[in-house]
Amino acid sequence: MIKTYSEKLLARIWVIIGAVSVRVKIMGIVIIGTLMLSVTLALQMRELVTSLMEQQLESRGISITRDLAARATDDILVNDLYSLRQLLLETQANNPDVVYAFVLDPKGNILAHTFGEGFPAGLQNANPVETNQHHRTLLFDSGQGLVWDIGVPIFDGHAGTARVGLSESVITKNVLMLTSQVLITTVVVLAIGLAAAAFLIFVLSRPITELVVATRAVAKGDFAPRVRRWADDEIGELADAFNTMTAELAHSDEIRREREDLRRQLLQGVIATQEDERRRIARELHDSTAQNLTSLMVGLKNLNTLCDNSQLHVQAQDLRAITGQVLDDVHNIAFQLRPTALDDLGLPAAIERLVHEWQKRHQIPADSVVHLGDQRLPENVETALFRIIQEALTNVARHAEARNVSVLVERRANEVVAVVEDDGKGLELADLARGRLGVAGMRERAELLGGKMTIESSTSSGTSLFIQIPIPRIEGESV
């Protein structure tokens, strides 16, 4: 299914968020949540307070203007302009937010005003009031801030109009004060929230960190670590579940190790029994069967000497040839089963004989180099190395199509290293994965002795087999 752009974007955002640590997530949630809540409350409170104060300012302005209109009626009727101006100045003095006040006659002419340096142009007709109106309000920008201009008809408009301008600076000042208080409150709440988040991070991350450390130890095979139950919550239940799991894993690992040790012991016993049987059969073939065949060849030779019949001579020679071939086969079988050189002379002589016989049989150039010092290796190590090299040479003859083969066995420090190399066509990975070519048996022989086997193969350079088996250093032996 093809993902849409929005789905890809959401997936990308989730990947970015998921890569952030738990500490950053909790802190981010606290900071973003506190700021969003504070900003939302600040905007709502600012709008609400501004609306209420504007209504209050308008109501107050209407009240001031109507009072001015009522008190100015007598002065207008008697044409006492001085008293009228004093009334305007008194109104402005008693109300600090009153920017100006003036009175117009019914024809719109100015009777009195509070402007000392002249009446502003355009203000006279800016807010005309009809005779049937209770009042009329106009909000405009005076250049020094917003002004609420409120006009009220005097004596139903027959005596003129009273106009008062109220500044909105008080509203602005109060709103700024409210905003600053909200900001201070936001900082305090944010500090408290961060402190609470830090405590929450400590409570949550501490057990999680212990779980991570213990999990990594378990991943490395160490089932001993246990985590503390910090609280009776979900994390505490997780800690108990983890401890139960590690205990079960430790028990299972112990059973596995016991079974592995038992399997190793059984396998070692099988291999030892197999080698003993091979040794017995090889000795039997060498001491009994080979001796009988040799006696048979001597008898046929004597028969050929004593008898004058030419046909019997030919048959005797043929039987001697067949007997000789069988004797060679018996020797080869005995050597394959258990070379006497391995028991009598040690691994170097056995490998030299093995490589020589293999080269002779398969007509492939092969060389061997063995450096083991003066001390013989333990018997089980010699047997394992001989069998691994024997199986490796068998694989080369059957599958590699090699032109040259080399065998190296060298003793180093606390281990013995064997290398079998050929320049053939290499091994197929599928054959190695399925355990073919006797690889599993060779690797198992090496691992039973605590060693390891590595195979490097390519179609251009052939195959290299590396065997490393640890051996204890003999006291007084030079490295």
Sequence ranges of the domains in the chain: 1-222, 223-338, 344-479
Whether 135 and 115 have beta carbons less than 8 Å apart is answered as no
Using pLDDT thresholds of 50, 70 and 90, give the confidence band for residue 287.
low
Residue 75 corresponds to which amino acid?
D
Position 254 pLDDT exceeds 90: no
Closest CA to 464 of 454, 475, 474, 449: 454
**Six token digits for residue 123:** 């203000």
How far, rounded to the nearest angstrom, does the alpha carbon of residue 153 sit from its chain's CA centroid? 79
> 344-479: which CATH topology?
Heat Shock Protein 90 (3.30.565)
Higher per-residue confidence, 395 vs 18? 395
Could you tell me the fold of the domain covering 1-222? Beta-Lactamase (3.30.450)
Report the 3 state secondary structure along 202-229: HHHHHHHHHHHHHHHHHHCCCCCCCCCC
pLDDT in tens, 32-77: 888 888 888 888 887 888 888 888 888 988 898 889 888 888 888 8
pLDDT in tens, 104-140: 888 888 888 888 778 888 888 888 888 777 888 888 8
In tens, the pLDDT along 309-340 reads: 777 777 777 777 887 788 777 777 766 666 77
Interatomic CA distance for residues 130 and 163, integer angstroms: 13
pTM over 0.75: no
Mean pLDDT score of the chain: 81
Count CB atoms within 10 A of the CB of residue 55.
10
pLDDT band at 475 (very low <50, low <70, confident <90, very high): very low
125-129, 295-299, 301-305, 403-407, range with greatest mean pLDDT: 403-407
What Å distances lie between residue 247 and 226, 234, 243, 462, CA to CA? 9, 20, 6, 48
**Given this model, what pLDDT does residue 417 score?**
93
Token representation of residue 131: 């005779």
Predicted pLDDT of residue 135:
86
Query: Residue 412 in 3-state DSSP?
Result: strand
Q: DSSP alpha helices (H): ranges in 220-339?
A: 234-284, 290-306, 310-337
What is the model's pLDDT at position 405? Answer: 93
Q: β-pairing, 366-371 with 405-412?
A: parallel
Q: Provide the pLDDT confidence category of residue 479 given band limits of 50, 70 and 90.
A: very low
Percent of the chain at pLDDT above 90? 8
Helix (H, G, I), strand (E, B) or coil at 300: helix
- Identify the pLDDT of residue 407: 93
The string of pLDDT tens digits covering residues 390-399 is 889 888 888 8
Q: Between 345 and 94, where is the model more confident?
A: 94
Which pLDDT band holds residue 1 (cuts at 50, 70, 90)?
Answer: very low
Partnered with residue 137 across adjacent β-strands are: 150
Residues 6+ apart with CB under 8 A from 61: 137, 148, 150, 164, 166
pLDDT, residue 286, reads 66
Q: What percent of the chain has pLDDT over 70?
A: 89
For residue 91, pLDDT beyond 70: yes
3-state DSSP: the chain helix, strand, coil percent, rounded to 5? 60, 15, 25
User: What pLDDT does residue 139 have?
Assistant: 83
C-alpha span between 359 and 441 (Å, rounded): 23
Would you state the structure tokens that stand for residue 264, as one six-digit string? 């190793």
Q: pLDDT at residue 472 above 90?
A: no
Laid out side by side, the sheet with 405-412 consists of 366-371, 405-412, 415-422, 462-470, 452-458
